[in-house]
Structure 1
Amino acid sequence: MKIKAPYHHKLDEILADSSKFQRITKNPVDDIKRDANRIIETINAASNAPQLMLIVGDYDLGYIYGNVQTHKPGNRLRPIISQIPAPTYQIAKKLNTILIPYIPDDHSLKSSAEFTEALRMTPLGGVMTSMDVESLFKNVPVDEKAQIILDSVYRDDPTPSIKHP
């Protein structure tokens, strides 16, 4: 029990940051399902693209846990928010498969092996940066990223061929 106390304390400190987390008093799952289904119905009605599935069934809220960063002083926690039990998880996966072809490969790497190879191939004097992601997608500027995707889709590149599973 004593081993878990520091973990829980560190997780409580992360959750206490009101700029990133908000305490809720009501389970929002049904409202999220209703709102998401309204959006899905609107998209399906207006699009010739593959139809998005309505959200049906029982779901729960996402949950948070922390991975201990043993390589950092104080064994900080890296918060992980799992959305797997949430009502929007499957639709997010579907949207991901639709959007992936529009993400340019020339400025991103998919694995540490690709990063190692890029370092090996970078000429001396070149610049290579790696960014540590804080709270995964919590701090991604959504409006800016949406505009980049829209510019790529409608102004720059022809529509890529999309493979659907």
Structure 2
Amino acid sequence: MNQLLGDKNTYKVVRVDPTTKLQKKNNSIVNELYKGKHINYREKQQLASSAATAPRLYGLPKIHKPECPLRPISSSINVPCYELSIYLGKILTPLISEDYNIKNSFDLQNRLADVNVCNDDVKRSFWAGDGEVAILDLWEERAADLRSSRKNGHIYKEMANELAKLGYNYTARDIQVKIANFTQRYRKERVEMGPSGGSPSIWPFYARVNQIIGGFKANRFCELMLESIDESSTASSVPTTPSPQLTSTPSTPQPWSNPPSPLPGSSAIEPKKKKNIVSVHTKVMEKFEAVSVEITNYMKKSEENENKFMKIEEEKANALKETAQDNKEPKKAFVAINP
């Protein structure tokens, strides 16, 4: 016990015994209850403390552990609030529901004897590393099936059966949530990398998930947007040459005449396929800056409106004060006339 009490992080040495102070506080509470007619005189005499002692500490050996360490037990018999605690316990006990409380470990064992836990009721808190690799393999095989059908619950069940054959016990719901988490993490990494792929991802499954769903349009929104902007800018930059209008006179074709050569400028001009990424990024940034300027102007207008509103409120308050003062003056005059 001395070794347990030597732990300064758990126990603290006090210079003065607080038992007398706690006894006076307990008796003060009992007197207030008696004055409020919540208890009678006999209950007052029973709850009052006169010769209280400090709690006693002793230890019970833990025989199921090596070296039999002691479990500290604090005995509260004859402490200042001992009788008052028993009195309050009798009042509060009927308010406690037995459905959410147990008496001891034997009561818990009896209640759990008839409880059956299904596999669907068990919540999985983590996935093993090899389990994640296995689900990625199945996802790659069934990716087309998952996207082709709207009602794909049976596909997740089949994937769960395949994982069970490999020794991984996961439900269809677990697999669905895991694939959704993979997709969300992949999109987050894709956004952080940017459309040009400047900063590589440190997520270990990025390359594998990119191989599975990287080609889908839903995951290439940013790149497709930039491509559409670039194509529109390229199409608008290509000059259109008007074809010359020639007036021709009917003539008799000669067998020895050569076929007419194509006019200059009449051949179709193909648009340039090379993309100027720098100009595209510049246009995107210009749009963002324009939006930010609009937001800033809106905030300034809102601040101005708020200042105007505050001025109006101040004018209202001043008008009310002046009205109140004007109302006081006739009263004073009336009192002066009729003393």
Shorter-chain TM-score tier: 0.5 to 0.7
Query: What is the aligned counterpart of 2:94 among 94, 101, 110?
Result: 101
Tell me the CA shift for residue 32 of structure 1.
1.2
* Shift in CA distance, 99/18, structure 1 to aligned 2, threshold 3 Å: farther
The amino acid that maps onto 2:106 is A
Aligned positions, number: 117
Contact 1:65 1:81 in 2 (8 A): yes
Return closer, same or farther for 1:17/1:46 CA change in 2, 3 Å cut-off.
Answer: farther
Under a length normalisation based on structure 1, what TM-score does the superposition of the two structures give? 0.59
For the pair 1:75 / 2:58, whether they are aligned, the reply is no
Note the 1:52-91 alignment, pairs <5 A.
Answer: 52=44, 53-91=46-84
Structure-1 residue corresponding to 2:301? none
Amino acid of the structure 2 residue aligned with 1:44: Y
Give me the whole-angstrom Cα distance separating, in 1, the residues matched to 2:88 and 2:77: 15
Q: Which among 23, 31, 39 is matched to residue 21 of structure 2? A: 31
**Alpha-carbon distance in structure 1 between the residues aligned to 2:71 and 2:101:** 22
Aligned twin of 1:45:
35
Distance of 1:88 and 1:110 partners within structure 2? 24
Partner of 1:15: 5
The residue type paired with residue 116 of structure 1 is Q
Pair 1:57–1:72, CA change in 2 (3 A): same
The corresponding residue for 2:112 is 119
Structure 2 equivalent of residue 137 of structure 1: none
- After TM superposition, the structure 1 stretch with the greater mean CA deviation from structure 2, 97-106 or 16-25, is 16-25
Q: Which consecutive unaligned segments of at least 5 residues does structure 2 have? A: 123-339
Q: Distance in 2 between matches of 1:37 and 1:105?
A: 33
Query: Rg: which structure is higher?
Result: 2
In 2 relative to 1, CA 103–14 (structure 1 residues): closer, same or farther, beyond 3 Å? farther
Counting aligned pairs with the same residue, the percent is 25
**Residues 40, 18 of structure 1: alpha-carbon distance in 2 compared, 3 angstrom cutoff:** farther
Distance in 2, Cα, partners of 1:45 & 1:96: 21
- Once residues 96 and 3 of structure 2 are traced to their aligned partners in structure 1, the CA distance between those partners, rounded to angstroms, is 35
- Please state how far the C-alpha of 1:54 moved relative to its aligned partner: 4.2
Q: Compute the displacement of 1:47 (Å).
A: 5.5
Asked whether the 8 Å contact 1:41–1:54 carries over to 2, the reply is: no
RMSD: 2.5
Q: Distance in 2 between matches of 1:20 and 1:100?
A: 31
Q: TM-score, normalised by structure 2?
A: 0.31
Q: Which residue of 1 aligns with 2:259?
A: none
Asked whether the equivalents of residues 57 and 75 of structure 2 are also in contact (C-alpha less than 8 Å), the reply is yes
Determine the C-alpha separation between the residues in 1 that align with 2:38 and 2:20: 28
Residue 15 of structure 1, CA deviation: 2.1
Deviation of the 1:44 alpha carbon: 3.3
Task: Write out per-residue CA displacement over residues 15-71 of structure 1, whole angstroms, 9 at most, x where no aligned residue.
Answer: 234444321222222211111111222233336466554424322211100100111
**Larger helix proportion, structure 1 or 2?**
2
Kindly indicate whether structure 1 or structure 2 has the higher relative contact order, using CA contacts under 8 Å at least 6 residues apart.
1
Q: Which amino acid aligns with 1:97?
A: K
Residue in 1 aligned with 2:220?
none
Residues in 2 aligned to 1:60 and 1:71: alpha-carbon distance in whole angstroms: 33
Distance 1:94 1:18, change over 3 A: farther
Deviation of 1:109 after TM superposition, in Å, equals 1.1
The C-alpha deviation readout for 1:84-127, integer Å capped at 9, x for no partner, is: 13222111111111111222221221133321211211113478
CA distance in 2, matches of 1:45, 1:32: 20
